[in-house]
Amino acid sequence: MIRVVLSLVMFTHLAFFAVAGEFNSVLSVGDQSPKWEALPSTSGRMISSDDLANAKVVVIAFTCNSCPYAVDVEDRLIDLHRDFKGRSVTVVAANVNTIEEDSLEAMKQKAEEKGFEFEYLYDESQQIAKDFGAKYTPQFFVIGPDRKIAYMGSFDDSPDGKAITQPYVRDAVAGLLEGKSIAVSETVPIGCRIRMERRRRSRTK
């Protein structure tokens, strides 16, 4: 009887930890993509996950203005959007940092300077990052036609964009469009930690 109880406890324990990905404490590859309510974009529009319903593939890029790793990936993200534009692929960037350098006004200036043609969303509540388990900038999620996570992690195998040998996000997008299996579906995100706001506990007298 004791062995049975111990086995059930161990199974429950392992099942609990099996729900998240190898490098993501919230989501696993194959999970349904989280939805989000309308968020302000640098384009002046309000964008929700439902607004992307017509896209076959969606790339979510958690990024910001202040992180040098995020800055280094901007041109590659612009190229990705342009290369797959017209092929039912939507790229959406999201920033949740609350410092002045990452404010919506600063984001609008960045989007104009860089010529972002994709939506660059701001979530002051940081909920979208929490729902995706995003902890770094940049960090990427590729979502397939079934609206399940097909890939999550780094953009490629070169944080500074030099000597790239494995373009993870690009390969995932191409694979989904061609109906092929994705060889690498999860990698370690490399970048700056997202500046999550901590709520202070109220002291009781």
Instruction: Provide the residue ranges of all domains of the chain, joining segments of one domain with +.
Output: 26-45+54-193
pLDDT score of 20: 61
77 C-beta neighbours (distance < 10 Å), count: 22
* pLDDT at residue 84, rounded to an integer: 97
Quote the pLDDT of residue 21.
75
Task: Give the pLDDT confidence score for residue 62 in this predicted structure.
Answer: 98
Q: Which residues pair with 136 in a beta bridge?
A: 193
- What are the tens digits of pLDDT across the range 155-203? 999 988 999 999 999 999 999 999 999 999 999 999 999 988 876 554 5
Please work out, in degrees rounded to the nearest 5, the angle formed at the alpha carbon of residue 128 by the alpha carbons of 154 and 17: 70
Residues of the chain with pLDDT under 70: 1-20, 199-205
SS3 52: helix
Instruction: Let me know: does 136 contact 193? Beta carbons within 8 Å.
Output: yes
* For helices 168-178 and 68-84, angle between their N-to-C axes, nearest 10 degrees: 20
The structure tokens 């940092």 sit at 97
* 26-45+54-193 homologous superfamily: Glutaredoxin (3.40.30.10)
Q: Count CB atoms within 10 A of the CB of residue 142.
A: 27
Whether omega before 34 lies within 30 degrees of 0, making that bond cis, reads: no
Q: What is the pLDDT of residue 2?
A: 44
Give me the pLDDT at residue 9, please: 34
Strand-pair partners of 82: none
pTM here is: 0.87
